[in-house]
Structure 1
């Protein structure tokens, strides 16, 4: 099992939190096998694996643990991956993993804020005190770049750069983001975000950096240490409350969805949005085309006076009145 986890980290570049979750999933799986007297993975066949999802659901339900389809899918994926890896290495004679099927996950469209709601959220951090200036820079930066919260908290000061361009073009502010699998990408930083970031860097960050030892991290906490993901969540939740937005609609990932949705709605090329988001496949990015289509349908259904089928009381729309030409024949065209 240890070798499989090392491979996940080294070959697939999975985040440490994901590897830690896989380790816990596999520990539960080995415990289940031990209860059935199975100590050698070579003894596991397809019939054995088919019984595992049912036991998993019953055990977690009995413990009062609510398990989403995504979590269950991850737990079963860890087991399939373990058997597949050991089979490829020649450790196991067969791979029974394909017999292990998880629940079908409902495909939910990402919920994005409207442009007006994003503006309210950002403007809620309008103070001139150090915390407000830092929070404003974080909100502007998340919406301007569409970065993940883990990418934001991992930034160092030198990741934000200004590129000089040829042909008298104005300089371009960019940031280097490190995504899943340690894949790096360069994303532009808009003028509003750059203005807020400069205010934070000049007026706030030097004092914060002097309090702690994280001299290189871009965004710092009030004690000078690097911001955690939980701290960023709380910053955004606090801004959402000030802006009067429902708590369930505000998070770092909602700002990422809003960034992508607004780009696609504005006519951005899907391949460009894919690169900006750091998606490995454009298939993942295509969900935002469905978001905009769904929004168009909602707007049409609520705005057009004849978007819905007429009720019996309304009857059929009246026929156009015939118009006679000079020869006395009816013209209805």
Structure 2
């Protein structure tokens, strides 16, 4: 018989400990532990005697089942995130022989490839996925932003790195203050976003070179503004000006996307976080999305 408490206590300590570059919030930890508890209760009800008896099919059934049919996508995403972390811990702490959550993800990827080759017109119309830059396009954009050794050139290079690190909205980026730079350097900034709601954005420590060059130039500009980014005339950058800066950079780089402003870099940052292993719930909190379903769109871009 499987005893949940013997696993949950150590799993919770692992989530709370110094094992992650960006620590999990207490609310996230509580949610993950609660979902793993439900999973362990489920496999116990299925009559499993040992953890090693868990199969990919069993994990899949628990993730997708609802009270009356299939669970909502948001519920499935939260369950999958919890299970993935749980088996990460099992492999880390107990050298567990396999990772059913990873196997499930690989199965889904293969099925998607097969479905793509088959084609066809059936099924529901897919929602439009957010446009993003791939890594080669990101490199090209960064190179182009650094090409001109001017006030605008130094600022634009810092702007690109800033937006790709934080995924802030245009208005949030242009109102970011110099006083909050320490938080940016450590990957923890508080932002007042849509609806005057405050959120904590946590991300891997960002590149510093471009920002330090911009700060060196900015100190020599006759400006009393307390915002990080300024126009060539030393005035606070507006959201409309930021849009023009990014759009012109993309045009000069030869990159053409359905979106051509700072929101493109916001989408790109979210997809990069997921590609680098950031948890879906964390990405949702960083982006300020009210629903995890919105955030889950980025999973299809990996």
Question: Structure 1: where are the runs of 5+ without partners?
Answer: 1-104, 164-170, 293-333
2:161 is the alignment partner of 1:140: yes
Matched ranges for 1:153-302 at <5 A? 153-162=174-183, 172-188=186-202, 192-201=206-215, 203-208=216-221, 210=222, 212-213=223-224, 215-246=225-256, 248-292=258-302
Task: Please give the secondary structure, in 2, of the residue aligned with 1:155.
Answer: coil
Partners in 1 of 2:202 and 2:149 — Cα distance?
Answer: 26
Partners in 2 of 1:277 and 1:137 — Cα distance?
Answer: 20
After superposition, the Cα gap between the structure-2 partners of 1:111 and 1:128, relative to the gap in structure 1 and judged at 3 Å, is same
> What is the aligned partner in structure 1 of residue 83 from structure 2?
none
- The structure whose residues are more often helix, as a share, is 2
Partners in 2 of 1:239 and 1:270 — Cα distance?
Answer: 30
Whether the aligned pair in 1 keeps the contact of 2:142 and 2:160 (CA below 8 Å) is yes
Question: Structure 2: where are the runs of 5+ without partners?
Answer: 1-124
Whether the aligned pair in 2 keeps the contact of 1:137 and 1:193 (CA below 8 Å) is no
How far off its partner does 1:290 sit? 2.9
Deviation sequence 1:49-90 (CA, Å, 0-9, x none):
xxxxxxxxxxxxxxxxxxxxxxxxxxxxxxxxxxxxxxxxxx
Task: Please give the secondary structure, in 2, of the residue aligned with 1:283.
Answer: helix
The TM-score, its normalising length taken from structure 2, stands at: 0.53
How far off its partner does 1:112 sit? 0.9
Matched ranges for 1:90-129 at <5 A? 107-126=127-146, 127-129=148-150
After superposition, the Cα gap between the structure-2 partners of 1:151 and 1:275, relative to the gap in structure 1 and judged at 3 Å, is same
How far off its partner does 1:192 sit? 4.9
Greater length-normalized contact order (CA 8 Å, ≥ 6 residues apart)? 2
How far off its partner does 1:250 sit? 2.8
Whether the aligned pair in 1 keeps the contact of 2:144 and 2:252 (CA below 8 Å) is yes
How far off its partner does 1:204 sit? 1.6
How far off its partner does 1:252 sit? 0.7
How far off its partner does 1:184 sit? 2.3
How far off its partner does 1:173 sit? 4.3
4+ residue stretches of structure 1 with deviation over 3 A? 188-193
Whether the aligned pair in 2 keeps the contact of 1:263 and 1:273 (CA below 8 Å) is yes
After superposition, the Cα gap between the structure-2 partners of 1:109 and 1:193, relative to the gap in structure 1 and judged at 3 Å, is same
After superposition, the Cα gap between the structure-2 partners of 1:190 and 1:131, relative to the gap in structure 1 and judged at 3 Å, is farther
How far off its partner does 1:291 sit? 3.2
Match of 2:171 among 150, 153, 163: 150
The TM-score, its normalising length taken from structure 1, stands at: 0.49
Partners in 1 of 2:194 and 2:259 — Cα distance?
Answer: 24
> What is the aligned partner in structure 1 of residue 7 from structure 2?
none
How far off its partner does 1:185 sit? 2.7
Whether the aligned pair in 1 keeps the contact of 2:187 and 2:206 (CA below 8 Å) is no
How far off its partner does 1:174 sit? 3.3
